[in-house]
Structure 1
């Protein structure tokens, strides 16, 4: 091995879940990306990308957003274009949060939640949230820029018991 790596190009983080039972309020899960700068990789994010938003430069965006889990295939898809990331960006953390509009919900309350992380046709990771079943939110991936500038993927399933606002503030903190 030479140490030469071109790194990641374009990655999709796809989330799916089954609709809530008939007569129940809809389950709404959201994919969120937090982008961190090289000068503060574990501090406050430079910006967040979630429903109704995209990165200022268009390199991180949500192409599908479901509030119910109804439909076939992926309910939400977040795309990250690493070859276009500005040099100032050094770390991107992706998480999933359950909206808490109609009472406390955890992943165990949602039917068949699943996240797939793919680069083209190559599956980098898949998770069903069973390890964080009693949490309201979880990080699912961390992408970091290496010394040579190439982006690398690190699986990062870590559960949180936080509301959506608190989760976005905590999701990129250094794991202890």
Structure 2
């Protein structure tokens, strides 16, 4: 049974799934219900060092760079509409392969071409991130976005971080106006 997290909620992954080594991060959203262009949301992971700075381009994983340089993170494909049930985009993380100098992985979602399409996260229904054990298929935690993000075009849904030798997940919901560029610049990576 997955733990339903609220914004700011945290879960100790080692406590909830002691043998966890491979994580399935499923992100989803619903099809657009009003007139206009479908929402094309893009999931990504940005690996950070202990100073909360990007480790470099090799630590930024998204549909156009599907594997991290260290081989620990993979993006499994781009969904351009949100059509279908369940996860729309999936990222996998192999915890044993994460280098020691990486202390945090930000799980972000950006609306592709949001400014040109006049779209923001306030228009998107039923967006979520779920954390599951990839080996067993068992859900560990889920965070449903419930706030009105009417100015944001990029959001950090959550973060995987290491504390006291154990990996944890925190539900974030931190938004950025300015899309992917603003998100990456905040952590020292230029787009």
Task: Give me the TM-score of the superposition, normalised by structure 2.
Answer: 0.74
Deviations 1:15-59 (A, max 9, x none): 122223486222100111111124xx3123432111121101221
Query: Is 2:140 the counterpart of 1:123?
Result: yes
Could you tell me which runs of 5 or more consecutive residues in structure 1 were left unpaired when the two chains were aligned: none
How many corresponding residue pairs?
165
Change (3 A) 1:7 1:36: farther
Q: Which residue in 2 is equivalent to 1:43?
A: 53
Q: Which residue of 1 aligns with 2:107?
A: 94
Over 3 Å counting, the alpha-carbon distance change for 1:144 and 1:130 in structure 2 is: same
Q: Structure 1 residues 115-124 or 82-91, which shifts more?
A: 115-124
Contact 1:14/1:74, CA 8 A, preserved across alignment: yes
Q: Does 1:133 align with 2:149?
A: yes
* Residues 154 and 183 in structure 2, CA contact (< 8 A), matched pair in contact too: yes
1:163 aligns with 2:176: no
Give the one of 52, 57, 60 matched to 2:64: 52
Measured at CA, do residues 139 and 157 of structure 1 come closer, stay the same or move farther in structure 2, by a change above 3 Å?
Answer: same
CA distance in 2, matches of 1:13, 1:98: 18
More displaced, 118-127 or 56-65? Answer: 118-127
**Alignment pair present for 1:109 and 2:123:** yes
Unaligned stretches of 5+ residues in structure 2: 1-13
RMSD: 2.5
Are 2:40 and 2:112, in contact at CA under 8 Å, matched by a contact in 1? yes
Deviation at 1:147, TM superposition (A): 4.0
> Which structure has greater helix proportion?
2
